Amino acid sequence: MNRTIFCSTVLMGVLVWTGCASSGVKNPSGVPVTRLNPDEQGFVAGTGIESQDLVAVADKMARSILAIPQIAQAPRPPVVVLDPVENKTRFPINKDIFLTRIRAQLNSRAAGKVIFLARDRMATLERERNLKREGAVTSASDPNLQEFQGADYFLTGTLEGLSTRTRAGTSDYILYTFQLIDARTSAIVWEDMAEVKKQGLEDAAYR
Amino acid sequence: MSTRRQGWAGSSATPGRGGRLEWCRVLLGARLGLCLGMILLGAIISAGCATSRPQGPPLTGDILVDGPRQIAEGPARDRVLWQYRTAAAAMRQGRFDLARSLLDDALLTLQGRYGPDPEARKARSLFRPESVKPFLGEPYERSMAWIYRGILYWRQGELDNARACFRSAEFEDSDAEEHTYVGDWVLPDYLDALATAKLGGDPSDALRRAGEHVRGATLPEPDPSVNTLIFIEFGPGPVKYAAGRYGEQLRFRTPPSPVQAARVTVGQVTVTAAPVDDVGYQATTRGGRVMDHVLGNKAVFKESTDAASDAAILGGAILATTGQGRKSAADEAGAALVLAGIAGKLLSAATVPEADTRAWDNLPRYLTFVQMRLPPGEHTAVIEFLDHSGRPLAGRTKTVHFRVPAHGRDTVLFVSDTSTTPQTQ
C-alpha cells in the first residue's frame, strides 16, 4: 500500500508539473538585449539573405573591385554609378543594401580612388540647381554650366537562387554576382561572385 | 509480493481477528481515499494551470479594430494569424500600407521557423493541443500571404521582389504528400513569368508551369507592355475542422461560392475573368502532414490508455469484491488496479490529440486577374461579380478610381467581392 501511495504521489507530481508547464508564458523573465556582430549568425536565423551574407559578400566585392587595373591604375578616379541589383531569388530583399555597403566600404577604405555619383538624389540636386539658376539662392560657380557628371562605369549585380524543399528540410543556394560595366562600351570590365548555401528544417509541428 | 504481505502483517498488530480486520478496512479506505484525493487534487491543479494561458482582448466584430488589438495584446501564438487576417481585411479596404507592414512582420516570422522551437515542441506533447504552437498557417495560407505581399510589391514598382514573393508562394506548396499537387498554383507562376518578361528575362519556364496547372481559364502570353493589372478574389475560402474520434484529423471544407467569375469594365473595354486559382483546391489536395502522424499517435495513446484503464478498474473492482474484505493479496491487488485504472483514466483525459483548426478565415475561394494596356490618365474600373449563369450578383459590384502614370511603374488594383466601394487606388 505504501508503494501505491508513493506511485500516486509521483503521478500527482507529474500531473501538476505538466499542467503548470502549459501556463503559456514564454521567457517570463524576458530576454536581455544581445548585441551581435553583423557578420555572425544570431539565434534568429532563416535560410534567406541575412546580415552575415551581406557583410561577407560586400567585403569580398569591395576588395575585388579595388584590385582591378581600371580602378587601381586609373589616371583619374573613375566615376561610378550604382544600378540596382536584380533579385532573382525567392526572397524579397532591400536591393539597395548590397551596393550601398560596397559603396560605403570603397569610399571609406579607398577614398579618392573611385567617385560615386548620387543619382538617387537627382531630384533634389536638380531642384537646388534650378534655385541657383533662378537666383533664389547663392551659387559658388556659374549655375548655367552643366556640371552633373556622367558615369564611366556602372556597378550592378544579380542575386540568383536555387531552392529545394523536401521532408528532410529546406535548402537555399544563392549566387551573388556583381559587375562593373563600362558605360561607353558596355564591356563588363570586372565581375566577381559569392555563393551561400543554407539548410534548415522546421519543427514537425509545422510539417 | 511476500514483502508486501509481511508489511500487511506488521501493520496489523491489533488484538483480536475481527477488530484487526475492521481496522484494516478502515485503513484501506482511508489510504485509498487519500490516494484518490491526491490524484484528484493534482488533476485540479493541472487543470487550473492549463486555463492560465493568456487570452486575447474581447472581439468587437470589426477586424481592423480587433486585429491590431489581438496582435498587440492577444496570445503570442496567434500573432501571425491576426496579422494575416488583418492584412487581408486592410487590402480590401484599400489600406495597403497597413497590409504591407503586417505581412512583412508575419513573413519574417514565417521565414525564421527553422530549428528547434520550444512552443512547437509543446504542440507535439501528449498533454497539449496542437493549437499551443505559434500559428504560421498551413501551406495554402502561407502561399496566400506571399501572394498578397507580391501584389503589394508590384504596386510599389518592385517587380523583382514581387516575383520573389510569387516564387516563395510556389515554394510553400512544394512539399506536399501528394506529389501530383506539388507547386500547382497558377497565378504565382504566371505573375513570375510576367514580371520576368517585364524585366527583360525569359519567362518561358514559369509560363510553362502555369500552363500545365491552369484549369478552366486561358492564360494570355505575358505582354511586357501591359501597364494595368487588376487582381480579383471572390467567394468564401476553405474552412478547417477536426474529424476523427478525438478530433485528431485536420480536414478542410470549401463552402460553395455564389460568385463564379468577375467582369471588369474600364471605359469601353470589358473583360470577363474566370478563376485562375482555387484556394479550396490548394487546401484539400496536399495530403497528410507530419503532424497528423503525431496527432494520430496521441489519439492511439488516449484510446488505448482509456481502454486499459477501464479494464484495470473493472478487474480491480472484481478482485476487491472477491477478496471480500479479508486481508488478502486480492484486496491489495484489486485496490492497486483500481488506482492504476484511475490514474490511467486521468492520463487519457489529459491527452489532447485535437488538431489545430485555427484558420485564416477571411481568405477568398478564387483568385483571378485582368491585365490591360491603358492610356495615361484617370480611369474608373467597374467590377461585377457573376453567378453561375453569368448574371451580376446584386450588391457586389465594386468601383475603383485609379490613375495610370505616363511612365514608370504599373498600376496595380486589388479588388475583392468583399471590398469596400467605391475606392481610389
Q: Which of A23, A87, A202 sits opposite B114 (nearest CB)?
A: A202
**Chain A partners within 8 Å of B53 (Cβ):** 22-24
The predicted model scores a pTM of 0.81
Q: Which of A3, A26, A44 sits opposite B112 (nearest CB)?
A: A44
Cβ contact, residue pair B48, A19, below 8 Å:
yes
User: What is the rounded distance in angstroms from the CA atom of residue A20 to the CA atom of residue B350?
Assistant: 13
Does the CB of A9 have a partner CB in chain B at under 8 Å? yes
Does A108 touch chain B if contact means CB atoms closer than 8 Å? Answer: no
Contact A1 B7 (CB under 8 A): yes
CA distance A174 to A47: 10
Interval A46-78: pLDDT, tens: 888 888 898 999 999 999 998 899 888 889 999
List the single residue in B115, B291, B335 with the smallest CB-CB distance to A205: B291
Q: Assess A35–B contact: CB distance below 8 Å, yes or no.
A: no
List of chain A residues whose C-beta atoms are within 8 Å of the C-beta of residue B312: none
A150 contact B CB<8A: no
Tell me which DSSP letter residue B388 carries. Answer: T
Distances (CA, A) of B364 to B99, B186, B213, B254, B416: 16, 15, 19, 10, 8
CA dist B321 and B330 (Å) reads 9
Give the pLDDT score at A43.
Answer: 67
Task: Compare all CA atoms of chain A with the CA of B154 and give the residue at the minimum distance.
Answer: A92
Whether A46 sits inside 8 A of B174 (CB atoms) is no
A48–B174 CB contact, under 8 Å: no
Concatenate the DSSP letters of all residues of B196-224 into one string. Answer: HHHTTS--HHHHHHHHHH--SS-PPPP-T
Name the least confident of A1-15, A104-118, B80-94, B123-137: A1-15
> Which among A21, A90, A169 has CB closest to B168?
A90
- Determine whether the interchain pair A203/B124 forms a contact, defined as Cβ–Cβ distance below 8 Å: yes
Residue in chain B lying closest to A172 (CA): B171
* SS3 call for B377: strand
Q: Could you tell me the end-to-end alpha-carbon distance of chain B, in angstroms, rounded to an integer?
A: 83
Interface predicted TM-score (ipTM) of this complex, two decimals = 0.74
- SS3 state at B286: coil
pLDDT by residue for chain B (425 residues), tens only, comes to: 333 433 333 333 344 444 454 544 544 554 555 555 555 555 544 444 444 556 778 899 999 999 999 999 999 999 999 999 999 999 999 999 999 999 999 999 998 888 888 888 888 889 999 999 999 999 999 999 999 999 999 999 999 999 999 999 999 988 766 677 788 999 999 999 999 999 999 999 999 999 999 888 889 889 999 999 999 999 999 999 999 999 999 999 999 999 999 999 999 999 999 999 999 999 998 878 888 888 999 999 999 999 999 999 998 888 877 766 666 777 788 888 899 999 999 999 999 999 999 999 999 999 999 999 999 999 999 999 999 999 999 999 999 999 999 988 999 999 999 999 999 99
Residue ranges of the alpha helices (H) in B324-390? 329-350
Give the residues across from B364 on adjacent strands.
Answer: B236
First-last CA distance in chain A: 46
Q: Among B39, B149, B199, select the one facing A11 at the smallest CB separation.
A: B39
Task: Report yes or no: B355 and B250 within 8 Å, Cβ to Cβ.
Answer: yes
Contact A24 B46 (CB under 8 A): no
3-state secondary structure B121-181: HHHHCCCCCHHHCCCCCCHHHHHHHHHHHHHHHHHHCCHHHHHHHHHHHHHHCCCCCCHHH
Q: How far is A67 from chain B (nearest CA, A)?
A: 31
Q: List the single best residue of B160, B189, B351 to mutate versus A (max A Cβ within 10 A).
A: B160
HSE value, Cβ hemisphere, 13 Å, CA-based, for A144: 2
- Which of chain A's residues have a Cβ under 8 Å away from the Cβ of B129? none
Q: Which amino acid is at B319?
A: L
Separation CA B205–CA B95 (nearest Å): 34
State the DSSP H helix or E strand holding residue B76, giving kind and residue range, or none if neither. Answer: none
| pLDDT tens per residue, range A152-196 | 999 999 999 999 888 778 899 999 999 999 999 999 999 999 999
Question: Which residue in the set A7, A87, A205 is minimally distant from B124, CB to CB?
Answer: A205
Instruction: Tell me the mean pLDDT in the region A126-150.
Output: 90
Q: Could you tell me if A186 lies within 8 Å of chain B, comparing CB atoms?
A: no
| B105: number of Cβ within 10 Å | 15
Judge: domain B63-292+356-424, CATH 3.40.50.720.
no
How many CB pairs below 8 Å do chains A and B form together?
Answer: 176
Domains in chain A: ranges and CATH: 47-206 (3.40.50.10610)
Selection from B284, B10, B12, B41 nearest residue B139 by Cα: B284
Write down the pLDDT at residue B215.
87
Q: Tell me which residue in A1, A46, A167 faces B111 most closely, judged by beta carbons.
A: A46
Least CA distance to B195: which residue of chain A? A88
**SS3 of B228-276:** EEEEEEEEECCEEEEECCCCCEEEEECCCCCCCEEEEEECCEEEEECCC
How high is the pLDDT of residue B393?
96
Q: Which residues touch B140 (CB under 8 Å, ≥6 apart)?
A: B173, B238, B279, B282, B283, B286
B7 contacts in chain A (CB < 8 Å): 1-2
Check if the beta carbon of residue A200 is closer than 8 Å to that of residue B117: no
Mean pLDDT of the A19-31 span: 55
